[in-house]
Amino acid sequence: MTYREALRRALDEELARDPNVFLMGEEIGRFEGSYKVTAGLWAKYGGKRVRETPISEEGFVGAGVGAAMIGLRPVVEIMTINFIVPAMDMVVNHAAKVRSMFGGKVGVPMVIRTPGGAGAQLTAQHSQSLEAWFAHVPGLKVVAPSNPWDAYGMLKTAIRDDDPVLFVENLVLYNLTGEVPEEGTDITVPFGLANVVREGTDLTIIAHSYTVRRALNIADRFLQDGISVEVIDLRSLRPLDIDTCIASVKKTTRALVAEEGWATFGIGAEIAARLHRACFDELDAPVERVGGAEAPMPYAKNLELAALAQEDKIGAAARRLLADCGLVDA
């Protein structure tokens, strides 16, 4: 099943399971969504459960917050993560803070689904990975699954959660195929638990979302040189499972954190800081970080590829780190 189909199946099952669940977003009904994740759901559940909205992110995210506060469970689709910027006030100042400001008596059980990432020549305003902004905010949960199984299981977990969840997808992942739970099973994937997707002994690469796929390809290449790379899929950014990362780095003694977003003040910066404190005596070299170019994303394809944290950039950083430790030639 594709990543897109896994998301659709999770939405379908949760709509059928709980009458308080409903969807909101631009063009998600008759048009079936810009990325066809919601295909067939409007026809099946009708306009009350699959609600099309105006092009007003602040308005319909705010409506979602209000609906969640009175007991409904909205799943709000933002067409791309770039378009969440007009709704930042609703996400950061309202959804994230209601439970605390109301003494725990009122929550916001809302999911915001949105794709991010770059690589399709959509230019600077449509090619961003902004999940680090939201992982910075207490009161929000932020997840970014990298495969269909986790997309299915974590979306179900998000819909059932009593707090607001930002569910970050990646445009490049929608056509990725992989295993999902058998139909008729009710499997969820917990937040705050990273997944060791490949065991290794010489280097730990920590990533999330589509960058996990790149890390796995790099691990295959290094295996040809006799270098064993362990790959950790964070899956959840807030809550963050740093313990799995620490255990891995204490074993391999070397770490690289890769992300598609900008590295400055990014996910990798937080993880590197924690690893340096927890693994100071075990590290053979400082934790390496790789992110996208510190510039607005260019339109020209060659420049876009140069700006992305592609496999060649991550692989080169890994090789430098291993060379500093004498495991490979520089």
Torsion of CA 77, 64, 233, 262, to 10 degrees: 80
CA distance 115 to 118: 10
The residues, any chain, with a CB within 8 Å of residue 302's CB and separated by 6 or more, are none
Among residues 126, 136, 276, 282, which one is catalytic?
126
CA distance 229 to 189: 25
Active-site residue, 57 included = yes
Among residues 14, 57, 131, 260, which one is catalytic?
57
- Burial-class residue 90 by CB neighbours within 10 Å (0-12, 13-18, 19+): buried
Residue 5's alpha-carbon distances to 8, 26, 121, 147, in angstroms, are 5, 19, 24, 11
Backbone angles phi, psi at 259, to 5 degrees: -150, 155
Residue 175 has which token pair?
């056509």
Order of all β-strands in the sheet with 236-238? 50-52, 21-25, 73-77, 111-116, 165-170, 141-143, 236-238
Active-site residue, 126 included = yes
* Residue whose C-alpha is closest to residue 70's, from 115, 15, 122, 108: 108
The residues annotated as belonging to the active site are 57, 126
